[in-house]
């Protein structure tokens, strides 16, 4: 198996705080690798070490078998969450400038700039000054700048943050094309569970600086077992914990947790359990404001493993 990037016992400490704790990950060539974790879980610190922007306290990172600090830096393209744009240049001028910084030869640069503008639906805005672009266009240009030099590894930090659905779809299709048509290795951190599920070949879930699971989205969803999910909101959320305590004692209720004021209940034969659940709410003199039943999602796996919603 060819691994493009390997993190070996990667650790980062700041005084008494262990931000990343003995991380071991192998990322395959030509896969989209998703990083999930609550805020402060160590995702960004891990990725900064993995691309050579931050030195680990201990451990090492290998890219194509070489230490990350010994590789040609042009092998990695980084698209940060913050927009890194020249507001007074046009889209085309921005890409030309970035290509010049990477010393991309003109005969390669010109068709590459044209192709990127086309692929990311920016052709009509090629001569528009960046300050006049919409938020979605700016984010797509941000990605184009990160890949103008044809890196082997592309790191995308929260690429869909704040995007409208149309821009998100363009971005997702381009990420898939980088993998499927160009054979690039893409490392993706995201808050959006659907994005991680739709795009990632494998997902690493990190919490408190430790890797807690690494598998395909399908296997992760299978892992938390049979059963459906009841997503319930009470009119009086101060009753949430009382209801959770009661439901936890019921047979066939696998788990009940509170996330963002809602109660997420995993149960075998969930639909058949609804009358029992409603009765328990009534016994607390409570009222259900909203309720739905669905299949397991990646978010349920995440909550099951970390006990927290992603945005907490």
Condensed to tens digits (0 to 9), the pLDDT of residues 29-61 reads 999 999 988 777 888 899 899 988 899 999 999
Helical (H) or strand (E) element with 129? none
**Distance between CA 302 and CA 312 in Å, rounded?**
12
Q: Which two tokens stand for residue 9?
A: 């016992």
Task: Give me the sign of the Cα torsion angle 119, 120, 124, 129.
Answer: negative
Q: What is the pLDDT of residue 312?
A: 43
Closest to 171 in 3D by CA, of 152, 191, 149, 198: 198
Residue 211 CA, chain-centre distance (Å), reads 15
Closest to 31 in 3D by CA, of 175, 136, 135, 158: 175
What's the average model confidence in pLDDT over 274-294?
Answer: 92
Q: Is the pTM of this model over 0.85?
A: no
Helix axes 165-180 and 135-147, enclosed angle (nearest 10): 10
What's the average model confidence in pLDDT over 249-256?
Answer: 85
Q: What is the pLDDT of residue 229?
A: 85
Mean pLDDT, the chain, as a whole number? 89
The percent of residues above 70 in pLDDT, for the chain, comes to: 96
**How many CB atoms within 10 Å of residue 228?**
17
What's the average model confidence in pLDDT over 279-288?
Answer: 93
Q: Give the alpha-carbon dihedral of 165, 171, 175, 176, to 10 degrees.
A: 50
Query: Structural domains in the chain?
Result: 3-221 (3.40.50.300), 226-295 (3.30.70.980)
The string of pLDDT tens digits covering residues 133-162 is: 998 899 999 999 999 999 999 999 988 888
Task: Give me the sign of the Cα torsion angle 48, 49, 53, 58.
Answer: positive
pLDDT band per the 50, 70, 90 thresholds, residue 308: low
Q: What is the pLDDT of residue 311?
A: 47
Residue 33 CA, chain-centre distance (Å), reads 9
**Distance between CA 48 and CA 43 in Å, rounded?**
9
**Distance between CA 177 and CA 102 in Å, rounded?**
23
């Amino acid at each position: 198996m060819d691994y493009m990037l390997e993190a070996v016992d990667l650790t980062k400490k700041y005084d008494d705080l262990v931000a990343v704790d003995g991380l071991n990950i192998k990322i395959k060539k030509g896969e989209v690798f998703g990083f999930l974790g609550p805020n402060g879980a160590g995702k960004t610190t891990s990725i900064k070490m993995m691309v050579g922007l931050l030195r680990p306290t201990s451990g090492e990172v290998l890219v194509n078998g070489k230490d990350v600090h010994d590789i040609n830096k042009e092998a990695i393209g980084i698209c940060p969450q913050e927009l890194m744009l020249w507001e007074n240049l046009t889209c085309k001028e921005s890409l030309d400038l970035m290509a010049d910084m990477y010393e991309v030869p003109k005969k390669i640069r010109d068709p590459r700039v044209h192709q990127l503008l086309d692929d990311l639906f920016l052709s009509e805005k090629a001569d528009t000054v960046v300050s006049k672009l919409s938020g979605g266009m700016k984010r797509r240009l941000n990605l184009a700048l990160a890949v103008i030099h044809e890196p082997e590894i592309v790191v995308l930090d929260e690429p869909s943050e704040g995007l409208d659905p149309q821009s998100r779809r363009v971005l997702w299709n381009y990420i898939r094309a980088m993998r499927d048509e160009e054979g690039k290795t893409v490392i993706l951190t995201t808050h959006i569970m659907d994005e991680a599920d739709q795009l990632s070949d494998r997902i690493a879930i990190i919490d408190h600086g430790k890797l807690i699971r690494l598998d395909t989205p399908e296997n992760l969803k299978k892992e938390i077992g049979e059963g459906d999910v009841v997503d319930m909101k009470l009119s009086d959320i101060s009753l949430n914990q009382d209801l959770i305590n009661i439901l936890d004692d019921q047979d066939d209720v696998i788990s009940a947790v509170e996330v963002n004021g809602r109660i997420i209940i995993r149960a075998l034969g969930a639909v058949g359990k609804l009358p029992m659940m409603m009765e328990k709410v009534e016994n607390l003199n409570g009222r259900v404001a909203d309720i739905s039943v669905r299949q397991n999602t990646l978010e349920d796996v995440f909550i099951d493993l970390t006990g927290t919603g992603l945005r907490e």
